[in-house]
Structure 1
């Protein structure tokens, strides 16, 4: 199995097309065409993690956080980032990160938090904009079914819990080929009236290349008529954070104690308690202060995230309980998610190599300690 094949599998879970613009996701170090001897899954790539990969003959590190976030102008080993990159290159180890792509994934970071807390009726807290595209094409009647099915097979026409969705309008198309044309229907220089079907489907933006490839392969015309439009509709399954509900409400104190135990944190920093019950909860793994207003807007009783600054807690404004559980703590289960996904997808990994394996890093990369 090649590095790029593993990346292809990970893109099924969290397409890189949904990474935030500020982020640096994808293959950060290494050759995508290299054969994979072993995979090490980690939250962060530190020197100790690279050493762990070397020891276990893993030449691909799947790291949630990118080790290279901003540009590197020098690689001299003076910073921890430079030393990691040096050591990885020296030992032919590839490093891949899916960071905010996994944050925005329906089955990603925030789903794991919801599952750990037992939250039901989940919805995306902040849907990502412009993630839905629309394809309109015009097909002769006898080819309409073949074209529709080809588009459906690559994921076109999926809307929420439904698939094979399309809208079809019958009409008359006209065209006239010039002397260089090679028309499938009609003759060169002849104005042709053809009964056609206008097919319209929506699709997730990361599928655009697959959708167009399918269209070009099965559409019968020499010149394929089509339009692609970016929609402003909210995507129900792509975006930052999640909202969910407990089956049974609990007091604020009970909630904070439950949160501390379940998320295995030594400290929960929280805003003023409001003497209300907690039932509806918003969560966002990592730094989530930007989503405080969104959590309030949806009527959440509490918002669980990390990295709140002093003045962020004032923004609770007696409307919500803000709970900062720590950055590492909010994302700690991400390793398990990635490891479990890869184990299910790669059932016969490196059968010819006795060392072929998919491992979870045993290195605690949390840079914060509590007294």
Structure 2
């Protein structure tokens, strides 16, 4: 199987047409006609990720986050992300990003999070993609729900906005950095909004408008992308590995 054939198969499930206009899903580095030797799945692509792919004889890295979101105006191979591009090109390792096309897909990342949190009757908001809304089987108080989210997603520490004491039944969820959707969700009947990268002003807005909000972090709402892709790629008759170098970039005291 050629590298481009594997990606064509993947895009039949998660087409690039799904991606947001600002996004850069797709090939970041392409050696189109190389025979596929192995796939490494990684949330981010760091220099160690490329080294890991090389050591395991994987010549295709499929990441969630694109290596580049904007065009490069200059190139200095000593600094990230140019150093990753340099090492990948030198070793003829292709890099492909499945980003917002995976988030938005009906069978993609937010769909997966709904299932992982055991939400029922969930659906994507057609006019507010990629936000999903679903319901808990049974109502929960906010404290119980916070600990449930923390445990289920394996989050060591999280922050939240508690703006009312109503029980939690209807949940809105959007992986990654979707906190600004809070401004549009104010008109929807939801009890809590789960996302990542919640900023100060978004938190104040939620608090003042009676919307509970959980910052489950960018990392821990998106690290599950590898589980999704593994299921779609496992029949390719080629080795597929999950990167051991994915890590949350923050330290805490």
Instruction: Report TM bin, short chain.
Output: over 0.9
Q: Who is 1:299 aligned against?
A: 189
Q: 2: CA distance between counterparts of 1:296 and 1:35?
A: 50
Structure 1 stretch displaced more, 104-113 or 265-274: 265-274
Distance in 1, Cα, partners of 2:7 & 2:33: 11
Distance in 1 between the 2:13 and 2:188 partners?
27
| Deviation at residue 32 of structure 1 after TM alignment | 1.8
Q: Which secondary structure does the structure 1 equivalent of 2:155 belong to?
A: coil
Stretches of structure 1 lacking an aligned partner (at least 5 in a row): 129-238, 350-355
Deviation of the 1:251 alpha carbon: 0.2
> Counterparts in 2 of 1:334-353, with a 5 A limit?
334-344=225-235, 346=236, 349=237
* 1:184-229 C-alpha deviation (Å, 9 max, x unpaired): xxxxxxxxxxxxxxxxxxxxxxxxxxxxxxxxxxxxxxxxxxxxxx
Q: CA deviation at 1:99?
A: 0.5
Give distance in 2, aligned partners of 1:369 and 1:282: 28
Please show how residues 11-26 of structure 1 align to structure 2 within 5 Å: 11-26=11-26
Corresponding residue of 2:40: 40
Give 3-state SS (helix, strand or coil) of 2:33's partner. coil
Task: Determine if the alignment matches structure 1 residue 270 to structure 2 residue 152.
Answer: no
Q: Report the 3-state secondary structure (helix = DSSP H, G, I; strand = E; otherwise coil) of the residue aligned with 2:37.
A: coil
Greater CA radius of gyration, 1 or 2?
1
1:370 counterpart = 2:252: yes
Shift of 1:318: 4.3
RMSD: 1.4
Distance between the aligned counterparts of 2:115 and 2:223, measured in 1?
13
Secondary structure, aligned partner of 2:174: strand
CA distance in 2, matches of 1:20, 1:318: 28
Distance change (3 Å), C-alpha of 1:370 and 1:115: farther
Partners of 1:365 and 1:67 in 2: CA distance: 16
CA contact (8 A) 1:272 1:318 kept: no
Within a 5 Å distance, the mapping from 1:110-259 to structure 2 comes to: 110-127=110-127, 239-259=129-149
Instruction: Give structure 2 stretches of 5+ with no counterpart.
Output: none
- 1:115 is displaced (CA, Å) by 1.1
Cross-structure match for 2:79: 79
8 Å CA contact retained: 1:126, 1:294? no
> Which structure has more strand as a fraction of its residues?
1
Moved over 6 A (4+): none
Instruction: Report the count of equivalent residues.
Output: 252
Cα deviation for residue 260 of structure 1 reads: 1.0
**Normalised TM-score (structure 2):** 0.95
Distance 1:331 1:245 in 2: 21
TM-score normalized by the length of structure 1:
0.65
Find 1:320's aligned residue among 202, 211, 221. 211
**Offset, 1:73:** 2.8
1:89-119 Cα shifts (integer Å, max 9, x gaps): 0000000012011111011110111111100
